[in-house]
Amino acid sequence: MTDAPRLPLDLSLNLTHRPRRNRKADWARRLVRENVLTTNDLIWPIFVVEGENVRTPVASMPDVERLSVDQAVVAAQRAVELSIPALALFPFTDPSLRDPNGSEALNPENLVCRATRAIKQAFPQIGVITDVALDPYTSHGHDGVMEGETILNDESVAILVEQSLNQARAGADVIAPSDMMDGRVAAIRAALDGEGFLDVQIMAYAAKYASAFYGPFRDAIGTKAVLVGDKRTYQMDPANSDEALREVADDLDQGADMVMVKPGLPYLDIIYRVKDRFAAPTFAYQVSGEYAMIMAAARNGWLDGEKAMMESLLAFKRAGADGILTYFAPKAAEMLKKGV
Ligand code: PBG
Protein backbone atom coordinates (compact mmCIF):
# COMPACT_ATOMS: atom_id res chain seq x y z
CA MET A 1 0.00 0.00 0.00
CA THR A 2 2.75 2.41 1.01
CA ASP A 3 4.46 2.06 -2.35
CA ALA A 4 1.21 2.39 -4.26
CA PRO A 5 0.76 5.53 -6.25
CA ARG A 6 -1.36 8.08 -4.41
CA LEU A 7 -3.91 10.31 -6.04
CA PRO A 8 -2.76 13.89 -6.05
CA LEU A 9 -4.99 15.89 -3.72
CA ASP A 10 -6.59 17.89 -6.49
CA LEU A 11 -7.78 14.64 -8.09
CA SER A 12 -9.42 13.21 -4.93
CA LEU A 13 -13.08 12.55 -5.45
CA ASN A 14 -14.46 14.30 -2.38
CA LEU A 15 -17.50 12.08 -2.40
CA THR A 16 -20.47 12.80 -0.15
CA HIS A 17 -21.68 9.24 -0.48
CA ARG A 18 -19.44 6.26 -0.18
CA PRO A 19 -21.87 3.31 -0.11
CA ARG A 20 -18.92 0.99 0.41
CA ARG A 21 -18.55 2.27 3.99
CA ASN A 22 -21.55 0.21 5.05
CA ARG A 23 -20.03 -2.85 3.43
CA LYS A 24 -16.59 -2.58 4.97
CA ALA A 25 -16.94 -5.44 7.45
CA ASP A 26 -19.20 -8.33 8.20
CA TRP A 27 -20.65 -6.60 11.28
CA ALA A 28 -21.47 -3.52 9.22
CA ARG A 29 -23.11 -5.54 6.47
CA ARG A 30 -25.20 -7.43 9.02
CA LEU A 31 -26.25 -4.17 10.62
CA VAL A 32 -27.73 -2.69 7.43
CA ARG A 33 -29.10 -5.94 6.00
CA GLU A 34 -32.70 -5.46 4.82
CA ASN A 35 -33.95 -9.01 4.39
CA VAL A 36 -33.35 -12.26 6.13
CA LEU A 37 -34.16 -15.89 5.44
CA THR A 38 -35.18 -18.08 8.36
CA THR A 39 -36.42 -21.64 8.64
CA ASN A 40 -39.89 -20.18 9.23
CA ASP A 41 -39.91 -19.26 5.54
CA LEU A 42 -39.51 -22.80 4.26
CA ILE A 43 -42.06 -25.32 3.02
CA TRP A 44 -40.65 -28.72 2.08
CA PRO A 45 -42.31 -30.52 -0.86
CA ILE A 46 -42.12 -34.31 -0.51
CA PHE A 47 -42.91 -37.10 -2.98
CA VAL A 48 -44.66 -40.15 -1.58
CA VAL A 49 -44.70 -43.60 -3.08
CA GLU A 50 -46.25 -46.99 -2.27
CA GLY A 51 -44.37 -49.49 -0.14
CA GLU A 52 -42.52 -49.88 3.12
CA ASN A 53 -39.06 -48.54 3.83
CA VAL A 54 -38.78 -47.31 0.23
CA ARG A 55 -36.65 -44.39 -0.91
CA THR A 56 -36.25 -44.14 -4.68
CA PRO A 57 -34.10 -41.42 -6.23
CA VAL A 58 -35.51 -38.98 -8.77
CA ALA A 59 -32.90 -38.94 -11.53
CA SER A 60 -33.44 -35.33 -12.57
CA MET A 61 -33.51 -34.07 -8.96
CA PRO A 62 -30.26 -35.05 -7.21
CA ASP A 63 -30.72 -35.75 -3.47
CA VAL A 64 -34.52 -35.88 -3.82
CA GLU A 65 -36.21 -39.22 -3.24
CA ARG A 66 -39.72 -40.61 -3.41
CA LEU A 67 -40.58 -41.80 0.08
CA SER A 68 -42.93 -44.50 1.28
CA VAL A 69 -45.32 -43.36 4.01
CA ASP A 70 -43.09 -44.58 6.86
CA GLN A 71 -40.14 -42.69 5.34
CA ALA A 72 -42.30 -39.60 4.88
CA VAL A 73 -42.82 -39.73 8.65
CA VAL A 74 -39.04 -39.86 9.06
CA ALA A 75 -38.80 -36.78 6.84
CA ALA A 76 -41.45 -35.09 8.97
CA GLN A 77 -39.34 -35.76 12.03
CA ARG A 78 -36.37 -34.16 10.31
CA ALA A 79 -38.55 -31.18 9.44
CA VAL A 80 -39.66 -30.85 13.06
CA GLU A 81 -36.06 -31.02 14.27
CA LEU A 82 -35.08 -28.34 11.76
CA SER A 83 -38.09 -26.12 12.65
CA ILE A 84 -39.47 -26.28 9.11
CA PRO A 85 -43.11 -25.24 9.59
CA ALA A 86 -44.80 -27.32 6.91
CA LEU A 87 -44.54 -30.11 4.35
CA ALA A 88 -46.29 -30.27 0.97
CA LEU A 89 -47.18 -33.77 -0.20
CA PHE A 90 -47.20 -35.03 -3.80
CA PRO A 91 -47.92 -38.65 -4.70
CA PHE A 92 -46.39 -40.97 -7.25
CA THR A 93 -49.54 -42.93 -8.04
CA ASP A 94 -49.15 -46.47 -9.30
CA PRO A 95 -49.93 -46.38 -13.05
CA SER A 96 -52.51 -49.14 -12.58
CA LEU A 97 -54.55 -46.76 -10.40
CA ARG A 98 -54.64 -43.94 -12.95
CA ASP A 99 -57.77 -43.43 -15.03
CA PRO A 100 -59.28 -40.67 -17.18
CA ASN A 101 -61.23 -39.19 -14.25
CA GLY A 102 -58.46 -39.44 -11.67
CA SER A 103 -60.75 -41.38 -9.38
CA GLU A 104 -57.92 -42.43 -7.05
CA ALA A 105 -57.87 -38.78 -5.92
CA LEU A 106 -61.14 -39.49 -4.10
CA ASN A 107 -60.01 -42.68 -2.41
CA PRO A 108 -59.83 -42.06 1.37
CA GLU A 109 -57.01 -44.63 1.48
CA ASN A 110 -54.90 -43.09 -1.27
CA LEU A 111 -51.21 -42.37 -0.67
CA VAL A 112 -51.62 -38.73 0.22
CA CYS A 113 -54.39 -39.44 2.74
CA ARG A 114 -52.38 -42.22 4.38
CA ALA A 115 -49.25 -40.06 4.49
CA THR A 116 -51.22 -37.14 5.92
CA ARG A 117 -52.72 -39.28 8.67
CA ALA A 118 -49.38 -40.88 9.53
CA ILE A 119 -47.51 -37.58 9.68
CA LYS A 120 -50.20 -35.76 11.67
CA GLN A 121 -50.43 -38.64 14.11
CA ALA A 122 -46.68 -38.71 14.71
CA PHE A 123 -46.10 -34.95 14.57
CA PRO A 124 -49.30 -32.98 15.09
CA GLN A 125 -47.25 -29.79 15.38
CA ILE A 126 -46.15 -29.75 11.74
CA GLY A 127 -48.33 -28.30 8.97
CA VAL A 128 -49.39 -30.64 6.19
CA ILE A 129 -50.25 -29.08 2.85
CA THR A 130 -51.95 -31.26 0.27
CA ASP A 131 -52.04 -30.68 -3.46
CA VAL A 132 -55.40 -30.45 -5.16
CA ALA A 133 -55.21 -31.31 -8.85
CA LEU A 134 -55.87 -34.49 -10.77
CA ASP A 135 -52.59 -34.92 -12.67
CA PRO A 136 -51.02 -37.50 -10.33
CA TYR A 137 -54.14 -39.62 -10.80
CA THR A 138 -55.18 -39.24 -14.43
CA SER A 139 -54.10 -41.53 -17.25
CA HIS A 140 -53.63 -38.46 -19.50
CA GLY A 141 -51.61 -36.43 -16.95
CA HIS A 142 -53.87 -33.37 -16.98
CA ASP A 143 -55.02 -31.54 -13.86
CA GLY A 144 -58.71 -31.91 -14.78
CA VAL A 145 -60.98 -34.21 -16.71
CA MET A 146 -61.09 -34.17 -20.50
CA GLU A 147 -63.61 -34.34 -23.29
CA GLY A 148 -61.72 -34.94 -26.50
CA GLU A 149 -58.81 -32.52 -26.31
CA THR A 150 -60.55 -30.09 -23.96
CA ILE A 151 -59.96 -29.92 -20.22
CA LEU A 152 -63.42 -29.32 -18.79
CA ASN A 153 -63.56 -26.59 -16.16
CA ASP A 154 -66.73 -26.98 -14.13
CA GLU A 155 -66.75 -30.77 -14.23
CA SER A 156 -63.15 -30.73 -13.01
CA VAL A 157 -64.01 -28.33 -10.17
CA ALA A 158 -66.73 -30.71 -8.99
CA ILE A 159 -64.11 -33.47 -8.61
CA LEU A 160 -61.51 -31.15 -7.08
CA VAL A 161 -64.02 -30.21 -4.39
CA GLU A 162 -64.43 -33.89 -3.49
CA GLN A 163 -60.65 -34.32 -3.53
CA SER A 164 -60.28 -31.40 -1.11
CA LEU A 165 -62.84 -32.89 1.28
CA ASN A 166 -61.08 -36.24 1.07
CA GLN A 167 -57.80 -34.60 2.08
CA ALA A 168 -59.39 -32.49 4.83
CA ARG A 169 -60.98 -35.61 6.33
CA ALA A 170 -57.52 -37.21 6.39
CA GLY A 171 -56.28 -34.28 8.45
CA ALA A 172 -54.71 -31.90 5.93
CA ASP A 173 -54.12 -28.46 7.43
CA VAL A 174 -53.88 -26.59 4.16
CA ILE A 175 -55.57 -27.38 0.86
CA ALA A 176 -53.46 -26.16 -2.05
CA PRO A 177 -55.23 -26.22 -5.40
CA SER A 178 -52.60 -26.24 -8.18
CA ASP A 179 -55.01 -27.10 -10.98
CA MET A 180 -55.76 -23.58 -12.30
CA MET A 181 -59.42 -24.28 -13.00
CA ASP A 182 -61.62 -21.18 -12.70
CA GLY A 183 -63.78 -20.83 -9.60
CA ARG A 184 -62.30 -23.69 -7.65
CA VAL A 185 -61.30 -21.70 -4.58
CA ALA A 186 -64.87 -20.55 -3.83
CA ALA A 187 -66.24 -24.03 -4.46
CA ILE A 188 -63.64 -25.66 -2.20
CA ARG A 189 -64.18 -23.05 0.55
CA ALA A 190 -67.94 -23.61 0.52
CA ALA A 191 -67.54 -27.38 0.67
CA LEU A 192 -64.97 -27.22 3.49
CA ASP A 193 -67.18 -24.89 5.50
CA GLY A 194 -70.19 -27.09 4.79
CA GLU A 195 -68.43 -30.03 6.45
CA GLY A 196 -67.22 -27.96 9.38
CA PHE A 197 -63.60 -27.60 8.23
CA LEU A 198 -63.71 -23.92 9.07
CA ASP A 199 -60.02 -23.73 9.98
CA VAL A 200 -58.61 -25.63 7.04
CA GLN A 201 -56.69 -23.02 5.06
CA ILE A 202 -56.53 -22.62 1.30
CA MET A 203 -53.21 -21.82 -0.33
CA ALA A 204 -54.11 -21.03 -3.92
CA TYR A 205 -51.66 -21.57 -6.71
CA ALA A 206 -53.04 -18.29 -7.98
CA ALA A 207 -50.50 -17.31 -10.61
CA LYS A 208 -49.25 -20.57 -11.98
CA TYR A 209 -47.57 -20.42 -15.36
CA ALA A 210 -47.39 -23.04 -18.10
CA SER A 211 -43.69 -23.64 -17.57
CA ALA A 212 -40.90 -25.82 -18.91
CA PHE A 213 -39.39 -25.73 -15.41
CA TYR A 214 -41.84 -28.38 -14.16
CA GLY A 215 -40.10 -31.14 -16.14
CA PRO A 216 -38.30 -32.92 -13.27
CA PHE A 217 -41.45 -32.84 -11.10
CA ARG A 218 -43.31 -34.70 -13.81
CA ASP A 219 -40.52 -37.31 -13.69
CA ALA A 220 -40.93 -37.53 -9.94
CA ILE A 221 -44.68 -38.18 -10.00
CA GLY A 222 -44.54 -40.20 -13.20
CA THR A 223 -46.66 -38.00 -15.46
CA LYS A 224 -44.04 -36.96 -18.02
CA ALA A 225 -44.47 -40.03 -20.17
CA VAL A 226 -48.26 -39.96 -20.10
CA LEU A 227 -49.01 -36.24 -20.49
CA VAL A 228 -51.07 -35.63 -23.61
CA GLY A 229 -50.26 -32.23 -25.15
CA ASP A 230 -49.54 -29.33 -22.78
CA LYS A 231 -51.25 -27.31 -20.06
CA ARG A 232 -51.50 -23.98 -21.83
CA THR A 233 -55.29 -23.87 -21.87
CA TYR A 234 -55.38 -23.57 -18.09
CA GLN A 235 -51.95 -22.52 -16.81
CA MET A 236 -50.88 -18.93 -17.47
CA ASP A 237 -48.99 -17.58 -20.46
CA PRO A 238 -45.42 -16.71 -19.34
CA ALA A 239 -45.74 -13.44 -21.26
CA ASN A 240 -48.37 -12.08 -18.87
CA SER A 241 -48.08 -10.04 -15.71
CA ASP A 242 -51.29 -7.98 -15.28
CA GLU A 243 -53.22 -11.19 -15.69
CA ALA A 244 -51.45 -12.59 -12.62
CA LEU A 245 -52.86 -9.73 -10.57
CA ARG A 246 -56.37 -10.54 -11.78
CA GLU A 247 -55.88 -14.22 -10.93
CA VAL A 248 -54.67 -13.34 -7.44
CA ALA A 249 -57.51 -10.85 -6.88
CA ASP A 250 -59.98 -13.48 -7.96
CA ASP A 251 -58.58 -16.17 -5.64
CA LEU A 252 -58.46 -13.79 -2.67
CA ASP A 253 -62.06 -12.74 -3.35
CA GLN A 254 -63.04 -16.38 -3.45
CA GLY A 255 -61.56 -16.95 -0.01
CA ALA A 256 -57.91 -17.95 -0.47
CA ASP A 257 -55.95 -17.46 2.76
CA MET A 258 -52.61 -17.47 0.98
CA VAL A 259 -51.58 -17.09 -2.63
CA MET A 260 -48.70 -18.51 -4.58
CA VAL A 261 -46.64 -17.58 -7.60
CA LYS A 262 -45.06 -20.40 -9.55
CA PRO A 263 -42.33 -20.94 -10.83
CA GLY A 264 -40.10 -18.85 -8.61
CA LEU A 265 -36.90 -17.16 -9.75
CA PRO A 266 -37.97 -16.48 -13.36
CA TYR A 267 -41.12 -14.82 -11.93
CA LEU A 268 -39.73 -12.61 -9.14
CA ASP A 269 -41.36 -9.62 -10.81
CA ILE A 270 -44.75 -11.26 -10.34
CA ILE A 271 -44.08 -11.97 -6.66
CA TYR A 272 -43.11 -8.35 -6.19
CA ARG A 273 -46.24 -7.03 -7.89
CA VAL A 274 -48.54 -9.43 -6.06
CA LYS A 275 -47.14 -8.59 -2.62
CA ASP A 276 -47.11 -4.89 -3.39
CA ARG A 277 -50.68 -4.81 -4.64
CA PHE A 278 -52.49 -7.13 -2.22
CA ALA A 279 -50.32 -7.28 0.93
CA ALA A 280 -51.58 -10.83 1.42
CA PRO A 281 -49.58 -13.87 2.54
CA THR A 282 -47.62 -14.59 -0.63
CA PHE A 283 -45.62 -17.71 -1.40
CA ALA A 284 -43.19 -18.64 -4.12
CA TYR A 285 -42.60 -22.12 -5.47
CA GLN A 286 -38.98 -22.70 -6.42
CA VAL A 287 -39.91 -25.51 -8.76
CA SER A 288 -38.19 -28.72 -9.73
CA GLY A 289 -36.43 -27.31 -12.79
CA GLU A 290 -34.94 -24.48 -10.77
CA TYR A 291 -33.69 -26.99 -8.22
CA ALA A 292 -32.30 -29.22 -10.97
CA MET A 293 -30.43 -26.34 -12.61
CA ILE A 294 -28.62 -25.33 -9.42
CA MET A 295 -27.85 -28.94 -8.49
CA ALA A 296 -26.60 -29.81 -11.96
CA ALA A 297 -24.30 -26.80 -12.14
CA ALA A 298 -23.03 -27.49 -8.62
CA ARG A 299 -22.31 -31.13 -9.46
CA ASN A 300 -20.33 -30.03 -12.47
CA GLY A 301 -18.30 -27.71 -10.32
CA TRP A 302 -19.68 -24.76 -12.27
CA LEU A 303 -20.98 -22.91 -9.27
CA ASP A 304 -21.04 -23.17 -5.50
CA GLY A 305 -24.30 -25.03 -4.92
CA GLU A 306 -24.79 -24.00 -1.29
CA LYS A 307 -24.16 -20.34 -1.97
CA ALA A 308 -26.43 -20.38 -5.03
CA MET A 309 -29.14 -22.08 -2.96
CA MET A 310 -29.02 -19.52 -0.15
CA GLU A 311 -28.81 -16.58 -2.55
CA SER A 312 -31.79 -17.80 -4.55
CA LEU A 313 -33.88 -18.27 -1.39
CA LEU A 314 -32.99 -14.84 -0.07
CA ALA A 315 -33.99 -13.37 -3.44
CA PHE A 316 -37.55 -14.57 -2.85
CA LYS A 317 -37.66 -12.75 0.47
CA ARG A 318 -36.31 -9.59 -1.12
CA ALA A 319 -39.00 -9.79 -3.81
CA GLY A 320 -41.67 -9.91 -1.10
CA ALA A 321 -42.42 -13.58 -0.58
CA ASP A 322 -43.48 -14.61 2.92
CA GLY A 323 -42.34 -18.16 2.31
CA ILE A 324 -40.89 -20.49 -0.27
CA LEU A 325 -41.78 -24.02 -1.30
CA THR A 326 -38.39 -25.50 -2.11
CA TYR A 327 -36.75 -28.89 -2.43
CA PHE A 328 -33.77 -27.25 -0.75
CA ALA A 329 -35.77 -26.83 2.47
CA PRO A 330 -33.94 -29.41 4.61
CA LYS A 331 -30.51 -28.44 3.29
CA ALA A 332 -31.17 -24.73 3.72
CA ALA A 333 -32.61 -25.28 7.20
CA GLU A 334 -29.49 -27.20 8.18
CA MET A 335 -27.29 -24.36 7.01
CA LEU A 336 -29.42 -21.79 8.82
CA LYS A 337 -29.22 -23.85 11.98
CA LYS A 338 -25.44 -23.89 11.73
CA GLY A 339 -25.57 -20.12 11.29
CA VAL A 340 -24.10 -20.13 7.79
C1 PBG B 1 -49.49 -30.06 -11.05
C2 PBG B 1 -48.28 -29.56 -10.36
C3 PBG B 1 -47.07 -29.32 -11.00
C4 PBG B 1 -46.18 -28.89 -10.03
C5 PBG B 1 -46.86 -28.87 -8.81
N6 PBG B 1 -48.18 -29.28 -9.04
C7 PBG B 1 -46.62 -29.52 -12.39
C8 PBG B 1 -47.53 -29.25 -13.49
O9 PBG B 1 -48.34 -28.32 -13.45
O10 PBG B 1 -47.43 -30.01 -14.44
C11 PBG B 1 -44.77 -28.54 -10.32
C12 PBG B 1 -43.84 -28.45 -9.20
C13 PBG B 1 -42.41 -28.47 -9.59
O14 PBG B 1 -42.04 -28.45 -10.78
O15 PBG B 1 -41.60 -28.54 -8.66
N16 PBG B 1 -50.67 -30.04 -10.38
What structural domains and CATH numbers belong to the chain?
37-337 (3.20.20.70)
Residue 330: is its pLDDT beyond 60? yes
**Mean pLDDT estimate for the chain:** 96
Residue 255: is its pLDDT beyond 90? yes
CA of 136 to the centre of ligand 1 (A): 10
Is 262 an annotated catalytic residue? Answer: yes
| pLDDT, average across residues 273-299 | 98
Residue 8: is its pLDDT beyond 80? no
Residue 313: the pLDDT is 98
| Set 208, 231, 275, 317: catalytic member | 208
Ligand 1, atom 8, lies closest to the CA of 214
CA of 102 to the centre of ligand 1 (A): 16
Is 275 an annotated catalytic residue? Answer: no
Residue 112: the pLDDT is 98
CA of 47 to the centre of ligand 1 (A): 12
Ligand 1, atom 14, lies closest to the CA of 214
C-alpha distances in Å from residue 269, one per residue of 207, 238, 240, 281, 309? 12, 12, 11, 16, 19
| pLDDT, average across residues 292-308 | 98
- The set of residues, in sequence order, having a beta carbon less than 8 Å from that of 302 and lying 6+ positions away, is none
Residue 2: is its pLDDT beyond 90? no
Residue 321: the pLDDT is 98
| pLDDT, average across residues 211-228 | 92
**CB-based contacts of 310-315 (< 8 A; 24+ apart in sequence):** 310/37, 310/335, 310/340, 312/264, 312/265, 312/286, 313/37, 313/41, 313/42, 313/286, 314/35, 314/36, 314/37, 315/265, 315/268
Residues above pLDDT 70, as percent of the chain: 97
| Set 120, 231, 262, 317: catalytic member | 262
Residue 59: is its pLDDT beyond 80? yes
Residue 332: is its pLDDT beyond 70? yes
Residue 148: is its pLDDT beyond 90? yes
Q: For 101-127, write each residue's pLDDT tens digit.
A: 999 999 999 999 999 999 999 999 999
Residue 339: the pLDDT is 87
User: Which of 93, 181, 209, 214 has most ligand 1 atoms within 8 Å of CB, for mutation?
Assistant: 214
Which pTM was predicted?
Answer: 0.96
C-alpha distances in Å from residue 190, one per residue of 40, 185, 281? 30, 9, 21
Residue 224: the pLDDT is 85
Residue 14: the pLDDT is 84
